[in-house]
Chain A
Amino acid sequence: MSNLLTIKDLHASVEEKNIIKGLNLEVKPGEVHAIMGPNGAGKSTMGYVLSGRDGYSVESGSVTLDGEDLLDMETEERARAGLFLAFQYPVEIPGVSNLEFLKAAVDAQREARGEEAVTSAEFLKEAKAACKQVNLPVSFLKRGVNEGFSGGEKKRNELMQMLLLKPKLCILDETDSGLDIDALQVVAEGVNSQRSADRSFIVVTHYQRLLDYIKPDFVHVLSDGKIVKSGDASLAHELEAQGYAWLQTEPAEDELEG
């Protein structure tokens, strides 16, 4: 099976500071990869670089999504190609209703893919179902995007967007941060319900806790801008027990890369 995502020797910087330093990763359709690592390892940066946030510049390396050169695309083109980033801190857009925002996003994506537009009635039906699935009252569709939402509501709102946009690759950026255990379960169930043979996930997290609910196929440890260790789900438990301190005392990076 060919890769959905292939990252080869990626180097990227923010404000002229190198953050990603030789990242390699391969994700096949349907796989769930967890990226763990200490603060400042470049976990969030990785998500921003892949989704094409301005100010995050790629110095070298290549990234393909479904065989297409991802780095050659504009931010919105990457989204339309099926890349979705669930934000750690979703921003508010006052006065723009969730429904209006989501409809515009879905319309833009469908149009780019040459698909027919969904009618407002159809879309409303889908959106209501998505609300229900992530345990948000339907009234949230009428509220401004993230306007006055609690931390947990914002995360569930991100998930709702994911349900409606049906991406191929979802990057969840510390989706567990600021969530209590109940909210975490709702989010995890939502993610699990979306797991399928043609949808892959990159779950970025600092803690192993989230991975009790979203079982990853692979766990990678990101440190100082590159993956220093990879393994299966058990690696997460190991990290939980040992912390990340051992990374600082490990021998030179190239030896670990193996």
Chain B
Amino acid sequence: MSEFYMTEQIDKALAREYEAGFVSDVESETFMPGLDEDVIRRISEMKGEPEWMLEWRLSAFRDWLKMDEPDWALVDYPKIDFQAISYYSAPKSMKDKPKSLDEVDPELLRTYEKLGIPLIEQQMLAGVAVDAVFDSVSVVTTFREKLEEAGVIFCPISEAVHKHPDLVKKYLGSVVPKKDNYYAALNCAVFTDGSFVYIPKGTRCPMELSTYFRINEQNTGQFERTLIIADEGSHVSYLEGCTAPQRDENQLHAAVVELVALDDAEIKYSTVQNWYPGDEEGKGGIYNFVTKRGVCHTNAKISWTQVETGSAVTWKYPSCVLKGDNSIGEFYSVALTRGRQQADTGTKMIHLGKNTKSTIISKGISAGKSNNSYRGLVRMNPGAEGARNFTQCDSLLIGDQCGAHTFPYVESRNPSAIVEHEATTSKVSDEQMFLCQQRGLDPEKAVSMIVNGFCKEVFKELPMEFAVEAGKLLEISLEGSVG
């Protein structure tokens, strides 16, 4: 009886509206669908790129042609026709490269305002600088002057290619090689925009940096590319958010994010992923195939925190290469799937240096007819003397038609290394719901409270502004029509 009751209650509670599902009426210049070397040349031309950048793209494309789409993840989707996707779309108004906010199309500014991210600096959260990426271009990057005073570079990567070619040449592809995997290679060939961050030696970035990705145009793919370099002894906290309109067709988002933490540097990278997840029957939604990786030099630390509530299919493993001695990698994740969503997500912690440490806390919540998998690799290389890992994977099932899976891979080649793995699977129980309701809470509030409690260890890792947003997002995700 309780099984049935739970399923019914939760289904109601989960029948939510996707609030970011609107389409902005912006006139865009969009490439015809299709992918060949000519398309790549045109993307490069649109960006006015130097020859070396084009060559880099083309070599990635040639590699990609020889690669196969990976099929090892526990996700099931129809084969993607890469010739049916448009690889470039930008608002026409962006062609003349507006110099200031006053010159930016008000419709674009309104779009971000509607999403709760006002780009007018006076209206913004004081401590957060934003790079707003709309389809294939960066619309605006705020607080740049203030950041420049501190020597921090925060700009669209398309701009960094021109203004900071040495840094881009040195680090682009240094963490995720061009041939790393199928989607990464595709991204290298066709990436359009994303953020570039450089924090100089010994500098603590004076504000949170954040990029907000928005897909708007139909039939386009978004191929974001982000590169963050924290020079020796520096510190930065970076946030990323993303949404897309509600459409019946699937859209591809294949991003690459590279983080470089030089000696004694620290990068905290947080994501709240809320791409359109498709409808209850699994129609539409974003395919989110993302490669994120960071390398830690001596005493450096990289911390990934992700809250994944959107996308029809998620394939994403933010990883740390702990190259330097005493370096630290962390991965905190909440992945919520409902309806027909599928998520195969986790991390890789590659311990190369001595006394390296990694922590993995993964919270998977599955509802509806969704499938949620944790897939994680912990590798202790022969040189990883005294290295340690702690992994905790918790799954929460809501209803009885969803799936939760855990695929931990441990490779230890150093006997002094210690790897710990804990895993639990639990359900939102009838007893918990009854307790909450008996104390006067409605079922919606009860579910969202129980789920939030389950995620607590991860939420406390998010920067303050995001923790609130993530909590709200879960609440919206769990919101419905319970009367």
Q: Which residues of A contact B (CB under 8 A)?
A: 15, 51-55, 74-76, 79-80, 84-85, 87, 90-96, 100-102, 104-106, 108-109, 112, 144-145, 161, 165
> What 9 additional pairs, Cβ within 8 angstroms, besides A76-B440, A84-B438?
A51-B438, A54-B5, A54-B434, A79-B440, A94-B453, A102-B439, A104-B445, A105-B436, A112-B440
User: In the assembled complex, which residues on chain B have CB atoms less than 8 Å from the CB atom of A15?
Assistant: 1
Q: How distant is the Cα of A68 from the Cα of B431 in the complex, in angstroms? A: 26
Cβ B437 vs Cβ A96 within 8 A: no
Chain A CB within 10 Å, residue with most, of B1, B5, B430: B1
Measured CB to CB, the closest approach of chain B to A224, in angstroms, equals 22
Tell me if B121 counts as interface (CB < 8 A to partner A). Answer: no
Cβ B456 vs Cβ A95 within 8 A: yes
Cβ B438 vs Cβ A95 within 8 A: no
* Contact among B2, B429, B442, B449 with A96 in the assembled complex (CB-CB below 8 Å): B449
Tell me if B203 counts as interface (CB < 8 A to partner A). Answer: no
Tell me if B450 counts as interface (CB < 8 A to partner A). Answer: yes
Q: How distant is the Cα of A55 from the Cα of B431 in the complex, in angstroms? A: 12
Measured CB to CB, the closest approach of chain B to A152, in angstroms, equals 18
Measured CB to CB, the closest approach of chain B to A57, in angstroms, equals 9
Q: Which residues of B contact A (CB under 8 A)?
A: 1-2, 5, 429-432, 434-443, 445, 449-450, 452-457
Q: How distant is the Cα of A93 from the Cα of B450 in the complex, in angstroms? A: 7
User: In the assembled complex, which residues on chain A have CB atoms less than 8 Å from the CB atom of B456?
Assistant: 95-96
Measured CB to CB, the closest approach of chain B to A164, in angstroms, equals 10
User: In the assembled complex, which residues on chain A have CB atoms less than 8 Å from the CB atom of B5?
Assistant: 54-55
Q: CB-nearest residue of chain A relative to B443? A: A76
Q: How distant is the Cα of A52 from the Cα of B431 in the complex, in angstroms? A: 13
Question: Beyond A54-B2, A55-B2, is A79–B439 a contact (Cβ under 8 Å)?
Answer: yes
* Contact among B1, B441, B452 with A54 in the assembled complex (CB-CB below 8 Å): B1
Measured CB to CB, the closest approach of chain B to A95, in angstroms, equals 3
Question: Beyond A91-B431, A91-B435, is A105–B454 a contact (Cβ under 8 Å)?
Answer: no
Q: CB-nearest residue of chain B relative to A54? A: B5
User: In the assembled complex, which residues on chain A have CB atoms less than 8 Å from the CB atom of B455?
Assistant: 95
User: In the assembled complex, which residues on chain B have CB atoms less than 8 Å from the CB atom of A91?
Assistant: 429, 431-432, 435
User: In the assembled complex, which residues on chain B have CB atoms less than 8 Å from the CB atom of A80?
Assistant: 440
Q: 18 A-B contacts, Cβ less than 8 Å apart?
A: A53-B434, A54-B1, A55-B430, A76-B437, A85-B438, A91-B429, A91-B435, A93-B435, A95-B455, A96-B452, A101-B439, A102-B439, A104-B449, A105-B436, A105-B440, A108-B441, A112-B440, A144-B453
Cβ B434 vs Cβ A75 within 8 A: yes
Cβ B2 vs Cβ A87 within 8 A: no
Q: How distant is the Cα of A92 from the Cα of B435 in the complex, in angstroms? A: 9
Q: How distant is the Cα of A68 from the Cα of B214 in the complex, in angstroms? A: 52
Cβ A105 vs Cβ B453 within 8 A: no
Q: How distant is the Cα of A112 from the Cα of B445 in the complex, in angstroms? A: 14
Interface pairs A-B: 6 shortest CB-CB:
A95-B453, A96-B453, A55-B1, A105-B439, A95-B456, A75-B437
Cβ B435 vs Cβ A104 within 8 A: no
User: In the assembled complex, which residues on chain A have CB atoms less than 8 Å from the CB atom of B450?
Assistant: 93, 96
Q: CB-nearest residue of chain A relative to B439? A: A105
* Contact among A92, A100, A108 with B440 in the assembled complex (CB-CB below 8 Å): A108
Q: CB-nearest residue of chain A relative to B363? A: A95
User: In the assembled complex, which residues on chain A have CB atoms less than 8 Å from the CB atom of B437?
Assistant: 52, 74-76, 79
User: In the assembled complex, which residues on chain B have CB atoms less than 8 Å from the CB atom of A51?
Assistant: 438
User: In the assembled complex, which residues on chain B have CB atoms less than 8 Å from the CB atom of A104?
Assistant: 441, 445, 449
Cβ A93 vs Cβ B440 within 8 A: no
Q: CB-nearest residue of chain B relative to A78? A: B438
User: In the assembled complex, which residues on chain A have CB atoms less than 8 Å from the CB atom of B454?
Assistant: 94-95
Q: How distant is the Cα of A202 from the Cα of B184 in the complex, in angstroms? A: 66
Measured CB to CB, the closest approach of chain B to A209, in angstroms, equals 26
User: In the assembled complex, which residues on chain A have CB atoms less than 8 Å from the CB atom of B441?
Assistant: 76, 104-105, 108
Q: How distant is the Cα of A163 from the Cα of B423 in the complex, in angstroms? A: 37
Q: CB-nearest residue of chain A relative to B449? A: A96
Q: How distant is the Cα of A93 from the Cα of B435 in the complex, in angstroms? A: 9
Cβ B442 vs Cβ A76 within 8 A: yes
Chain A CB within 10 Å, residue with most, of B5, B453, B457: B453
* Contact among B429, B435, B440, B452 with A87 in the assembled complex (CB-CB below 8 Å): B435
Measured CB to CB, the closest approach of chain B to A112, in angstroms, equals 7
Measured CB to CB, the closest approach of chain B to A105, in angstroms, equals 4
User: In the assembled complex, which residues on chain A have CB atoms less than 8 Å from the CB atom of B434?
Assistant: 53-54, 75
Q: How distant is the Cα of A109 from the Cα of B439 in the complex, in angstroms? A: 8
Q: How distant is the Cα of A144 from the Cα of B438 in the complex, in angstroms? A: 18
User: In the assembled complex, which residues on chain A have CB atoms less than 8 Å from the CB atom of B432?
Assistant: 91-93
Measured CB to CB, the closest approach of chain A to B119, in angstroms, equals 33
User: In the assembled complex, which residues on chain B have CB atoms less than 8 Å from the CB atom of A94?
Assistant: 453-454
Q: How distant is the Cα of A108 from the Cα of B456 in the complex, in angstroms? A: 22
User: In the assembled complex, which residues on chain A have CB atoms less than 8 Å from the CB atom of B457?
Assistant: 95
Q: CB-nearest residue of chain B relative to A83? A: B438
Q: How distant is the Cα of A228 from the Cα of B432 in the complex, in angstroms? A: 33
Q: CB-nearest residue of chain A relative to B8? A: A54
Cβ B439 vs Cβ A165 within 8 A: yes
User: In the assembled complex, which residues on chain B have CB atoms less than 8 Å from the CB atom of A76?
Assistant: 437-438, 440-443
Q: How distant is the Cα of A45 from the Cα of B90 in the complex, in angstroms? A: 64
Measured CB to CB, the closest approach of chain B to A151, in angstroms, equals 16
Q: How distant is the Cα of A87 from the Cα of B434 in the complex, in angstroms? A: 11
Measured CB to CB, the closest approach of chain B to A26, in angstroms, equals 23
